[in-house]
Amino acid sequence: MIMDTLDPQRFLSALLHMGIDRYVSGSREEPTLTSLKAKVSRCTGCELSRSRKSVVFGEGNERARVVFVGEAPGEEEDRQGRPFVGRAGKLLDQMIERIGLNRKDVFICNVLKCRPPNNRDPEAREVEVCKDYLVAQLALIKPSLICTLGKHAYNTLMGVDARITRVRGILTSYKGTKLLPTYHPSYLLRNQGAIKEAYEDMEKVKSLLAGSSPR
């Protein structure tokens, strides 16, 4: 069963909302990240579908022990259809290396799968549409740890309105899965004095992963 660390009702509701009704554990074909990606690629649930060049579903290890969640694709991500490929992506790569892993070992995605115009903050309607996709991704991957990047990812999953400076580095949980918030790499590029704190958070991630069972 693929969602034992996440709320089954929320997962099933998310799948039904997306038009996926084939999930019956152990008896019929179960959804996969591949089938979910195909569904997301056809999404027209909000206005962002009209302006996007690409749907940025996410990428990485489908059995990753840690999932990094950002807020939304930027211009370069929209062009390439991949998450975190610009300057912020290079910094995220360095952060991942601090835990002794690389991009192929983790899974990287965003709350929104389409780029907001001019890289503005996600709007409530957009988050409402895309959150079910994120919930389904996490349920399918079933990571040991979720690392949220910036306030939008944290607030979306936790259902709060918190400032990242107040919550970063404080371990909590989402539906039974450990969750550690840290700064978004884009914020770190603008506030390089905070990189030390972000690296400290990566040391926490490394320690938490060392104490979890290998996949």
Domains belonging to the chain, first-starting first, are: 8-210 (3.40.470.10)
Residue the block writes with tokens 């991630």: 205
Give the strand order in the sheet containing 145-149: 59-60, 107-110, 66-70, 145-149, 177-182, 172-174
Using the structure block, give the residue that is written with the tokens 């389409």: 114
Unique residue bearing structure tokens 């807020």: 71
Helices in 100-169 by DSSP H: which ranges? Answer: 124-141, 151-158, 164-167
Question: What confidence tens digit (pLDDT) does each residue in 17-68 have?
Answer: 555 544 444 445 678 999 999 999 999 999 999 999 999 999 999 999 999 9
Q: Please report the pLDDT score of residue 30 as a whole number.
A: 79
For residue 59, what is the enclosing H or E element? strand 59-60
How many CB atoms lie under 10 A from the CB of residue 122? 22
pLDDT digits (tens, 9 = 90+) for 103-127: 999 999 999 999 999 999 999 999 9
Residues 6+ apart with CB under 8 A from 39: 18, 19, 20
Residue 7 burial (CB count, 10 A): 15
CA-nearest of 180, 131, 134, 176 to 154 is: 180
